[in-house]
Amino acid sequence: ADVPVPAVAGRALRVPLVTGGSTEYANLDHAASAPCLDSVREAVDELLPWYASVHRGAGLASQVCTRVYEGARQVLRDFVGARRTDSVVFTRNTTDALNLLARALPRGTSVVVPETEHHAALLPWSGPRVRRIAAPASPADAVAALDAALAECPEGPRLAVISGASNVTGELWPVAELARVARRHGARTVLDAAQLAPHRPVRMTELDVDHVALSGHKLYAPFGAGALVGRADWLNAAEPHLAGGGATRRVTERAVSWTTGPERHEAGSPNTVGVHALAEACRTLGARWADVVAHEEALLRRLRAGLRGVPGLRELCLFDADHERVGVVSFTVDGQDPGLLAAALSAEHGIGVRDGLFCAHLATRRLLSRAGSGAERALRASIGLGTTAEHVDRLVSALRTLVAEGPAWRYEQVDGRWVP
């Protein structure tokens, strides 16, 4: 936990407690959105005086913004180890990127997707050629299930949806093995890297995946910028994601011809500041992977060891407790309402966790039942560069206190949420 890591904003943020006084905020919800890196904030500050239109202006500030925006494509390509020829389309986030790909699939494409995916990767695909794979019990099971599902697909283009790391359990999926099976069946692959990219290097060429989607706000950059990186042919043949300026080659009274390349799907003035921030986050993480991984692994070990000592705590696992994972842990505590625990952790201890089904309803319900928990929701603690050993220890000790003594304050339910 003593590894020096890139600094993030809000590290010493103080929050008031209902029990009196204040404490340093312990943000244990990195999996939802990670705090902004200091290097990203500095890069944004540097760009803001040059804020001007991209692509369209002749002035120097426009040229600077255009260079920054276009230069970010190569930074993203390097960050995910893409092929030189892969396109980088800037999107709002992973959800946007996967919906873009879903709308660009050639007619008649069969899609195979595990039911355990985050809704962003589960729901964009529709039609009779979508097959959902049941939650696997092991990585080998996941590979065998994909193999069997692809073998049953009719002739024509195929796409296998693969998750990098689960947003419920943090467990890593066997991406390279899944991609190998997909390739054997002539299927393309798309990797949902929203939860993997902030924690581990993604190497598209080594993994042999065709498309990768990610979100800046999970990668220590602000909200509003993400990317779809990968093969360009389907995208160049598809209808533009949005119709409008910047995506057109020529417009006449009777017809429109659209550009090819990433601009085809980026109509409208782009989020230059967000893209610059995303690229800076990629540069910072890409230069510090060894420290980032060491920091997280130490804190994750500490967190899981501490949680194991909380009476009645059940950790959710997709594969098994020893499977490699990033810093995300979901759990329930026997006899405790997860929503009430989350509310008390925030109000009485200054700890931010998440409770619910984490936009992965099928996965979380399945894992709750596998864990033998009677709960209908779970709690999730997720760590990253803003996490300290004190945050982890505070969570464990607060949970022990809440389980032994109950909350110090009284809470009532308002619109389904507990409030002090």
Catalytic residues: 359
Tell me: does residue 272 bind ligand PMP (CB under 6 A): no
Under rule CB under 6 A, residue 346 binds ligand PMP: no
Stretch that binds ligand PMP, among 108-116, 133-141, 189-197, 384-392 (CB under 6 A): 189-197
DSSP structural state of residue 172: B
Q: How far is the CB of 96 from ligand PMP (least distance, A)?
A: 7
Tracing tokens 């909350």 back to the chain, one arrives at 407
Q: Please tell me the distance from the alpha carbon of residue 394 to that of residue 372, in angstroms, as a whole number.
A: 27
- Closest alpha carbon to 271 in 215, 193, 354, 346: 215
Cβ-based nearer residue to ligand PMP, 318 or 347: 318
Do the beta carbons of residue 220 and residue 198 sit within 8 Å?
yes
Q: Is residue 125 left, alpha or beta, with left meaning phi > 0 and alpha meaning psi from -120 to 50?
A: beta
Q: Which stretch binds ligand PMP (CB under 6 A): 22-30, 108-116, 118-126, 258-266?
A: 118-126
Please pick, from the candidates 26, 100, 121, 402, the single residue that binds ligand PMP as defined by CB under 6 A: 121
| Nearest distance in Å: CB 275, ligand PMP | 15
Provide, rounded to whole angstroms, the least separation between the CB of residue 165 and ligand PMP.
Answer: 7
Nearest-approach distance from CB 217 to ligand PMP, in angstroms: 6
List 66, 87, 167, 382, residue binding ligand PMP (CB under 6 A): 167
Beta-carbon contacts of 306 under 8 Å, excluding residues fewer than 6 positions away, are: 392, 393, 395, 396
- The binding track of 77-116 with respect to ligand PMP, each residue x by CB under 6 A or -, is ----------------xxx---------------------
Instruction: Retrieve residue 292's tokens.
Output: 């980032």
Candidate residues 194, 313, 353, 395; the one interacting with ligand PMP per rule CB under 6 A: 194
State which residue, 98 or 292, has the beta carbon closest to ligand PMP: 98
* Tokens of residue 343, six digits: 């509310």
| Distance between CA atoms of residues 166 and 299, nearest Å | 18
Which pairs count as long-range contacts for 306-314, CB under 8 Å and 24+ apart, including other chains? 306/392, 306/393, 306/395, 306/396, 307/331, 307/381, 307/396, 307/399, 309/396, 309/400, 310/396, 310/399, 310/400, 310/403, 311/400, 311/403, 311/404, 312/336, 312/403, 313/399, 314/371, 314/372, 314/373
336 binds ligand PMP (CB under 6 A): no
Q: Smallest Cα–Cα separation from 120: which of 132, 105, 102?
A: 102
Q: Does 175 bind ligand PMP (CB under 6 A)?
A: no
The site that binds ligand PMP (CB under 6 A) totals a number of residues, namely 14
Q: b/e map of 141-171 (b: 16 or more CB within 10 Å)?
A: ebbebbbebbeebeeebbbbbbbbbbbbbbb
Cβ of residue 288: shortest distance to ligand PMP, in angstroms?
22
Q: 30 vs 314, which CB is nearer to ligand PMP?
A: 30
What is the closest distance, in whole angstroms, from the C-beta atom of residue 94 to ligand PMP in the complex? 4
* CA distance linking residue 264 with residue 240, whole number of Å: 6
Q: How far is the CB of 319 from ligand PMP (least distance, A)?
A: 16
Instruction: Please say which residue, 196 or 347, places its beta carbon nearer to ligand PMP.
Output: 196
Within 13 A of 42's CA, how many CA atoms are on the CB side?
9
Q: Is 271 in the site for ligand PMP (CB under 6 A)?
A: no
Residue list 347-406, contact with ligand PMP (CB under 6 A)? 359
Binding ligand PMP (rule: CB under 6 A), the pick from 27, 109, 195, 336 is: 195
Q: State the residues that interact with ligand PMP by CB under 6 A.
A: 93-95, 118, 120-121, 163, 167, 192, 194-195, 215, 217, 359
